[in-house]
């Protein structure tokens, strides 16, 4: 999450056509909406696998809903992208990133490490 904040706040960053198209056209163009949903689903799958790996290693509570957490992190990162495009700076993006990490239900194993 911190890397996302840093990349999004870099002076030479590339804006995502995916996010721009979704925001601008997703509500009225079914092809754009379908493509956006596919991208969301793929990104959510990547995050979900990371969360499941952390659950297996005992870092995140096994009771946590990996699907909901993955969807949450997709929403946060895409929201951070929109905010960065609007001019929100590195300090605020970093604060969003660190706050979002507090949503992870860490186990005692992680907290004592």
d(CA 51, CA 83): 25
Q: What is the pTM assigned to this prediction?
A: 0.84
**Of 15-19, 37-41, 75-79, minimum mean pLDDT range:** 15-19
Tell me the CA distances in angstroms from 50 to 46, 54, 56, 60, one per residue in order.
6, 6, 10, 10
Q: What is the DSSP letter of 113?
A: -
- pLDDT above 80 for 21: no
Higher pLDDT, 102 or 26: 102
pLDDT mean over 41-68: 96
Burial class (CB in 10 A: 0-12, 13-18, 19+), 22: buried
Mean pLDDT of 43-71: 96
């Amino acid at each position: 999450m911190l890397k996302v904040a840093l990349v999004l706040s870099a002076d030479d960053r590339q804006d995502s056509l995916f996010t721009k198209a979704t925001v601008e056209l997703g509500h009225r163009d079914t092809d754009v909406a379908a493509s956006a949903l596919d991208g969301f689903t793929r990104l959510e799958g990547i995050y979900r696998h990371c969360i499941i790996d952390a659950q297996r290693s005992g870092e995140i509570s096994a009771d946590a809903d990996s699907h909901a957490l993955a969807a949450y992190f997709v929403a946060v990162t895409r929201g951070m992208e929109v905010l960065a495009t609007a001019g929100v700076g590195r300090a605020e993006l970093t604060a969003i990133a660190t706050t979002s990490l507090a949503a992870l239900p860490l186990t005692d194993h992680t907290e004592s490490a």
